Structure 1
Amino acid sequence: MTVDPSAPLIVGGASDPNLGVLIEAFRRAGVPAQPVLVGAEVPALAWEPVGGPLVIDGRSRTPRAMFLRHDVFGSLGDRDPRNAAMWASANHKPAALALADQVGLRPPATLVTNDRAAAEAFLGSCDKIAKPVAGGDLARPLCEAMAMASRSAGPFAAPAIIQERLVPPEVRVYVIGEQTFAFEVKSRHLDYRAANDAEVIALDAVPDGIAGPLLRLARTMELDFCAADFKGAPDGSLRFLEVNTSPMFARFDQASGGQLCDALVAWLCEARPARLASLEAARGR
């Protein structure tokens, strides 16, 4: 079957369940899409960035939109993106915390350090957590993270983000264009990613004081799609933890009854709310 070469490109790993539910949402809506999936077989790609064609598997593509699950172009030789400053902030957790504070979101007190004594002294006797600045590992109690460090004395090999240990509720808010979708995540673990037993609950509305500032943050960071994580402080307020620029969403889409993927389809097709309403009607909601 011939697919419209201007249809949205859906790019990522062939075994990624998040792309699976998004491609199914396109099919369900009767909207064409062009999956470009990398697995055991790798698609052939050629692209001239300045005015040239994008050719994938021998076919010229002119997509009007693209959903890139991960930065599959990150290993290219030319790392000079046009929006380098925003790319850097979007992938730099401390910078994102500073930007979040500027737009009115409230991060917890934070110290970035590789100094063992400074980490222990920060916030006094308050319970603290540590997580790597560059990501790639779970948030852990500070004492546990220090015990796991490769160096038993002196500065740590890499800096960590040290923060006050927060408490439930834990809330994730997705941004898709100008829309927001909120979920509560219930888990017995400090970091719900530690096990696959967390309960995900779609919320009827985004908690007060979050949607507007979060949309401003997304615009500042030039993010059309992202998810931000929040957790409770002792005073009952929700504190901003981080923004995820390529978040997982399959499980959250399931909890929402398909609303996340419907919104992604509508946004990628440059649809208006009426288009999203028609997608929901087609599914009998």
Structure 2
Amino acid sequence: MLLISGGEQDPNIAHLLEVARKRKISVTKVLFGPSTHPSIHWDIRANRLLLDGMRLEPDAAFLRYDVFNHMADAREQTAFRAHAWYAAIAGWIASRTDIRAFNRDGEPNVLKPAILRMALEAGMNVPRSLVSNDIQRINEEAGDDFGKWIGKPVCGGEYTQVLGDLIGKVAQRGGAAAAPAIIQERLVSPDIRVFRIGKEFLAFGIESKEIDYRVDSACRLWMIASPSKRLARQLKRLTDRIGLDFAAADYKTCGDTGKLKFLEVNTAPMFVAFDRAGKGAITDAMLRFLLHRKTSGS
């Protein structure tokens, strides 16, 4: 039996549930959001979790942190509820080593800036990157052309923006913004996203006119036969170090050289659009890993 848990408005969770339903996979779901939440009771000493009064004993589990409910409802209590549900379910899964799950040995506190440094150490081609809230030094680095740089949050959760569009909006005091951001040289389309799912590596091309393809409803996705051996080897080295067996790495193209540069690793990547572009290749690989058997066509 497979446990699937996350926000009731998360399209990735809905997609995985639909794939499992079509394949007649036994699933228990723990969904939460503005219109629903189940009853759970975890006895720490007995390490027994009751879901709506019934003991939960899955063989495998897939869990996503819910960001979609908070995107629709920006109240503080919505974010608090998402964190509480994730902490409770993730904590129980972590305590049950007999349940098969992704990223069981992952380092949860390794964030984007540290991963950039680790990528360099793994031999990856990384764009010029700063983590800074020092407006003067950012201006000095960018020179007169803010259009050649982008800014994005250190912890994620917001879209990437051109630095010239961002810098004028940022509140500052004494020459310092309220929080640091990642400042990087601007790269161009096409993008490449490489998923690691267990021992499998699946690559997709992304063509978009926007800086952040997630805001482009007209962006084009296609599956690449496989990533280059060099790219897969570097990504394996990086994700092994962080302890990830489920992740997606993003790359963009350098406008000057035409070579790919590594941007980031997402430890809970969205996958619906890519799975559709790959005709189910991602969910095939996910279910192969979680259920320990080939499920394609079953």
After TM superposition, is the score higher than 0.5? yes
Q: TM-score, normalised by structure 2?
A: 0.82
Name the residue aligned to 1:26: 20
The alignment status of 1:55 with 2:50, answered yes or no, reads: yes
The alignment status of 1:168 with 2:213, answered yes or no, reads: no
3-state SS in 2 of match to 1:42: coil
How far does residue 24 in structure 1 lie from its aligned partner after superposition? 2.0
Name the residue aligned to 1:4: none
1:22 touches 1:265 (CA, 8 Å); kept in 2?
Answer: no
Q: After superposition, what is the alpha-carbon deviation per residue over 1:44-99, rounded to whole angstroms, capped at 9, x for unaligned? A: 1112345511111111112222100116773378999899981110xx11011112
- 5 Å-filtered alignment, 1:1-285, equals 7-39=1-33, 40-49=35-44, 51-70=46-65, 74-75=83-84, 86-89=107-110, 92-122=111-141, 124=143, 127-151=148-172, 154-233=175-254, 234-271=256-293, 275-276=294-295, 279-280=296-297, 282=298
2:189 touches 2:209 (CA, 8 Å); kept in 1?
Answer: no
1:21 touches 1:261 (CA, 8 Å); kept in 2?
Answer: no
Q: After superposition, what is the alpha-carbon deviation per residue over 1:203-246, rounded to whole angstroms, capped at 9, x for unaligned? A: 11114521122122222222221111100112222111111111
Please give the alpha-carbon distance, in whole angstroms, between the structure 2 residues aligned to 1:142 and 1:47. Answer: 46
Name the residue aligned to 1:3: none
- Please list every run of 5 or more consecutive structure 1 residues that lacks an aligned counterpart in the other structure: 1-6
Please give the alpha-carbon distance, in whole angstroms, between the structure 2 residues aligned to 1:172 and 1:26. Answer: 24
Name the residue aligned to 2:99: none
Check 1:18–1:187 CA distance in 2 against 1; reply closer, same or farther (3 A cut).
same
Please give the alpha-carbon distance, in whole angstroms, between the structure 2 residues aligned to 1:232 and 1:219. Answer: 25
Please give the alpha-carbon distance, in whole angstroms, between the structure 1 residues aligned to 2:136 and 2:59. Answer: 52
Runs of 4+ displaced beyond 6 Å: 76-85
Deviates more, 1:189-198 or 1:160-169: 189-198
Please give the alpha-carbon distance, in whole angstroms, between the structure 1 residues aligned to 2:115 and 2:169. Answer: 26
Structure 1 residue identity aligned to 2:231? I
Structure 1 residue identity aligned to 2:235? L
Deviates more, 1:92-101 or 1:214-223: 214-223
Check 1:152–1:190 CA distance in 2 against 1; reply closer, same or farther (3 A cut).
farther
Deviates more, 1:79-88 or 1:198-207: 79-88
3-state SS in 2 of match to 1:9: strand
How far does residue 106 in structure 1 lie from its aligned partner after superposition? 2.0
RMSD (Å), alpha carbons: 2.6
Q: After superposition, what is the alpha-carbon deviation per residue over 1:132-173, rounded to whole angstroms, capped at 9, x for unaligned? A: 212222211212110111238611111111111111220111
How far does residue 260 in structure 1 lie from its aligned partner after superposition? 0.8
Structure 2 residue identity aligned to 1:212? R
Structure 2 residue identity aligned to 1:101? L
Identity of aligned residues (%): 35
Structure 2 residue identity aligned to 1:173? V
